[in-house]
């Protein structure tokens, strides 16, 4: 009906290694991209900039973490610290008079260098111990950030981001910020989509499944682990810088605290490890739903004429956020991406599979 297929049957390697194996998926992607491009003309800028824009940038960041956790199978609880490195180095570089384009790349590279330090932990331990080590590294980075005024911006521990300018164009409008975020997110998505089709992507999956078995096949797991951390940290760094440049406008250490690291990991896992579309869903769920529920509680209490404690309201989003993680993991441990996949697989052959039976 939707896909007009009776199953996916490839008759050549080329058709099997296409980016979109099913034409309908490609059409859907193009359609969504068109909606994305038209969004500033459709949505009020309040929604655009307080919901859609952070969603896009966090998705880019989550995809970066998915690269290292979902593809290469390395647990990472210090991702926010890497984002912070990117954000602070980019901003400081711009303040020195370097154009934003180069500053973003420098931010990404700086994050890559620091992020690769996390990889050295990954060379020694994996699983739970890697998670704990990266968590401790996050605490160290937090500490460095809050205790060095030269980095974090003096006594108030906040750093004003200079106005974003790309290609010689000052960007100050809401639509402008939005397009920057959209562009970055699309770029990262295309990179990740292509990663699956390359030897690098396959090598990472091999390292995830069994690193010593991969080593026997001639995959240098040492090299690929570091590469995975470096690539994901680059994405983290640029995402962090863009987040400050287009959304926060003011960099502060709390924006990249340990809770944020946990949040990004939650986005990736709730979305589904290794799933690209899942990361979009996961970010939307973790970022937007707690706020929505809070809004509902406020409206409901007003409708019913009940007085809800301000403090209660302040903590409901957190409770909802935690509950979401638990509930999604209980329903489908492989995340929202898997749920989407199940529905898609069903619709893929529907209604023809009924005939086959």
Partner 1 sequence: MDWVFLSELAINGALTGLLYSLFAIGLVLVYKASSVPNLAQGGLTMVGAYVVLALARDLGMPLWLAIPLAAVVMFGLGFGIERVALRRLAGRPVVMILMLTLGLDIFLRGTTLAISGGTSRSMELGVSYEPLLLGDIFISRIHLVGAGVALALFVAFIVFFRTRTGIKLRAIADDYMASWSVGISVERGVGLSWALASVVAVAAGVIWGEIQGVDQALSLLLLKGLTVAVLGGLDSILGAIVAGIILGVIENVGAEFLDPLVGGGSRELIVAAVLILTVMIRPHGLFGRHDIERV
The residues that touch partner 1, with contacts defined as CB under 8 A, are 69, 75, 121, 124-125, 127-129, 131-133, 135-137, 139-140, 142-143, 146-147, 262, 265-266, 269, 273, 309, 311-312, 314-326, 329-330, 333
Measured from the CB atom, the residue of 12 and 307 that comes closer to partner 1 is 307
Closest approach of Cβ 85 to partner 1, in Å?
17
The torsion angles phi and psi of 220, rounded to 5 degrees, stand at -80, 95
Q: How far apart are CA 28 and CA 3, in angstroms?
A: 11
Measured from the CB atom, the residue of 73 and 107 that comes closer to partner 1 is 73
CB-based contacts of 17: which residues, under 8 Å, 6+ apart? 197
Report the Cα 256 to chain-centroid distance in Å: 14
Closest approach of Cβ 334 to partner 1, in Å?
9
User: Which DSSP symbol is given to 253?
Assistant: G
| Residue 41 CB-density burial (10 A; 0-12 exposed, 13-18 middle, 19+ buried) | exposed
Measured from the CB atom, the residue of 38 and 319 that comes closer to partner 1 is 319
Closest approach of Cβ 327 to partner 1, in Å?
9
User: Which DSSP symbol is given to 74?
Assistant: -
Q: Are 84 and 145 in contact (CB under 8 A)?
A: yes
Q: Are 294 and 316 in contact (CB under 8 A)?
A: yes
CB-based contacts of 139: which residues, under 8 Å, 6+ apart? 258
Q: How far apart are CA 352 and CA 357, in angstroms?
A: 9
Closest approach of Cβ 251 to partner 1, in Å?
20
Measured from the CB atom, the residue of 96 and 330 that comes closer to partner 1 is 330
Distance (Å) of CA 123 to CA 74, 120, 138, 317:
10, 5, 18, 37
Measured from the CB atom, the residue of 226 and 241 that comes closer to partner 1 is 226
* DSSP bridge partners of 159: 251
Measured from the CB atom, the residue of 36 and 208 that comes closer to partner 1 is 208
Measured from the CB atom, the residue of 6 and 294 that comes closer to partner 1 is 294
Closest approach of Cβ 312 to partner 1, in Å?
5
Closest approach of Cβ 252 to partner 1, in Å?
17
Q: Are 291 and 301 in contact (CB under 8 A)?
A: no
Q: How far apart are CA 185 and CA 190, in angstroms?
A: 9
Q: Which two three-digit tokens encode residue 186?
A: 């699309």
Closest approach of Cβ 148 to partner 1, in Å?
10
Closest approach of Cβ 350 to partner 1, in Å?
29
Measured from the CB atom, the residue of 29 and 329 that comes closer to partner 1 is 329
């Amino acid at each position: 009906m939707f896909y007009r297929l009776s199953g996916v049957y490839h008759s050549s390697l080329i058709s099997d290694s296409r980016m979109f194996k099913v034409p309908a998926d490609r059409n859907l992607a193009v359609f969504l991209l068109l909606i994305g491009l038209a969004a500033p003309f459709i949505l009020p800028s309040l929604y655009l900039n307080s919901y859609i824009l952070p969603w896009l940038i966090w998705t880019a960041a989550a995809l970066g973490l998915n690269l290292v956790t979902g593809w290469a199978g390395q647990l990472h609880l210090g991702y926010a610290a890497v984002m912070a490195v990117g954000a602070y180095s980019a901003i400081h570089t711009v303040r020195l008079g370097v154009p934003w384009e180069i500053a973003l790349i420098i931010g990404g590279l700086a994050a890559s260098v620091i992020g690769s330090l996390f990889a050295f932990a990954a060379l020694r331990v994996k699983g739970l111990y890697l998670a704990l080590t990266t968590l401790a590294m996050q605490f160290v980075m937090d500490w460095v950030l809050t205790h060095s005024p030269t980095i974090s911006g003096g006594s108030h521990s906040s750093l004003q981001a200079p106005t974003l300018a790309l290609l010689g164009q000052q960007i100050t409008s809401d639509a402008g910020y939005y397009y920057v975020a959209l562009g970055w997110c699309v770029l990262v998505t295309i990179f990740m989509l292509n990663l699956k089709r390359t030897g690098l992507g396959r090598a990472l999956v091999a390292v995830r499944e069994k690193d010593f078995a991969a080593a026997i096949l001639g995959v240098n797991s040492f090299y690929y682990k570091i590469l995975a951390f470096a690539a994901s940290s680059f994405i983290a760094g640029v995402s962090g810088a863009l987040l400050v440049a287009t959304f926060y406008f003011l960099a502060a250490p709390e924006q990249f605290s340990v809770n944020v690291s946990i949040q990004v990991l939650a986005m990736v896992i709730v979305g589904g490890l290794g799933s690209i579309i899942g990361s979009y869903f996961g970010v939307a769920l973790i970022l937007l739903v707690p706020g929505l529920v809070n809004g509902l509680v406020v409206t409901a209490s007003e409708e019913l004429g009940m007085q809800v404690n301000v403090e209660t309201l302040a903590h409901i989003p957190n409770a909802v956020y935690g509950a979401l993680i638990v509930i999604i993991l209980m329903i489908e441990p492989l995340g929202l991406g898997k749920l989407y996949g199940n529905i898609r697989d069903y619709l893929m052959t529907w209604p023809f599979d009924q005939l086959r039976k």
